[in-house]
Amino acid sequence: MAATKEGKCKRILVTGGSGLVGKAIERVVTDGEGRPDEEWIFVASKDADLTNAADTKALFEKHKPTHVIHLAAMVGGLFRNMKYNLDFWRKNVHINDNVLHSAYENGVQKVVSCLSTCIFPDKTTYPIDETMIHNGPPHNSNFGYSYAKRMIDVQNRAYFQQHGCRYTAVIPTNVFGPHDNFNIDDGHVLPGLIHKVYLAKQNGTALTIWGTGNPRRQFIYSLDLARLFIWVLREYNEVDPIILSVGEEDEVSIKDAAEAIVEAMDFKGKLLFDSTKSDGQFKKTASNSKLRKYLPDFKFTPFKQAVQETCSWFNMNYASARK
Ligand SMILES: NC(=O)c1ccc[n+]([C@@H]2O[C@H](COP(=O)([O-])OP(=O)(O)OC[C@H]3O[C@@H](n4cnc5c(N)ncnc54)[C@H](OP(=O)(O)O)[C@@H]3O)[C@@H](O)[C@H]2O)c1
């Protein structure tokens, strides 16, 4: 392989580099996971609007990546998804097609894109595994996002079939960590709850949890996901996607997650449940047995420790955090 002008063989472009997952990868790379033959380039929407084909093409021509981690997406929690299914579909389809096709046109050797366990069929058997993505319609709350994400898998297979490209995707469960979107209305459940607990503590009010608290989720700490992403980029050679998740036994209810946050934030007020608000999908338990076959010894950060670290980050960065 020809070295780049700095003598580095791999030039890795990370789209969505300013987001929750992108920032985690940047931290893990900076903290020692990066290798001397790798140059890492993290880009955000200010560098290129990836819904725009010409901007995307220019970005690829500027950086000439050999590898791509593709994270950029319109992302949001249940309530934002329910309101904007059309925008989630259109923006994400445009972003994904622009990125994958620019990668192909520029001879990129490997692309790792990001799906999500919330794109799986609503009516399914559990645990969900990688073979089930296209087995039925997704939950109605987020069909725009889900179908757009599913098309990445279709496109990866087609690039492989027609051009032999090794483009693949990972499927994380619910991600959380520093640099998340802590917006209460538009964000995901865990960062939204952290922000709510922060405000309830400040204002001396009760904590109101939307929904019954009964739905169950597998949460993955962004820094664990970052280490797994880097492994996929370097070592995983299948075109078929791989679920990146803690085990089925580590699934927790929203109520359990809220209690972990309450403990981490030392909140002493009351917990209320507003069951007039939607619960979303009850569960989406995913199997990590494919991951475990490859990496039997990978150690996930314990949930309570990861929640504690995320809450500390939020408390320390309240003024600048996305909220
Ligand atoms: N968060 C989760 O629980 C979760 C779970 C499963 C899968 N995922 C997937 O993981 C990936 C990363 O998610 P995240 O949680 O890190 O999201 P995030 O924090 O909301 O970050 C989104 C990133 O995408 C960029 N972006 C959005 N629209 C763009 C556009 N038009 N052009 C260029 N860049 C654009 C943003 O750039 P700016 O900062 O400049 O706006 C930001 O860097 C996504 O593909 C998501 O679907 C997330």
Q: What is the pLDDT of residues 250-262, one digit of tens each?
A: 999 999 999 999 9
Q: At what angle do helices 189-203 and 303-316 cross, to 10 degrees?
A: 60
Give the list of residues 6+ apart from residue 281 with CB closer than 8 angstroms, or none: 118, 122, 139, 141, 215
- Domains of the chain and any CATH numbers: 10-317 (3.40.50.720)
Residue 74 Cα to ligand 1 midpoint, Å, equals 6
Name the residue at shortest CA distance from atom 26 of ligand 1. Answer: 72
In DSSP terms, which residues pair with 166 in a beta bridge? 110
Give the Cβ contact number of residue 202 at 10 Å.
9
Annotation says 198 is catalytic:
no
Residue with tokens 């990861």: 306
Residue 188 Cα to ligand 1 midpoint, Å, equals 12
75 pocket-lining for ligand 1 (C-beta < 6 Å): yes
What pLDDT, in 10s, does the model give residues 286-304? 999 999 999 999 999 999 9
Residue with tokens 């520093």: 178
Name the residue at shortest CA distance from atom 18 of ligand 1. Answer: 19
What CA–CA distance (Å, rounded) separates 41 from 28?
A: 14
If one compares 83 and 301, the residue with the highest pLDDT of the two is 301
pLDDT of 2 reads 46
pLDDT of 76 reads 80
Which of ligand 1's atoms lies nearest the C-alpha of 117?
Answer: 6
Give the list of residues 6+ apart from residue 192 with CB closer than 8 angstroms, or none: 77, 182, 183, 184, 185
20 pocket-lining for ligand 1 (C-beta < 6 Å): yes
- On whether the CB atoms of residues 16 and 44 are closer than 8 A, the answer is yes
55 pocket-lining for ligand 1 (C-beta < 6 Å): no
How far from chain centre, in Å, is Cα 72?
A: 10
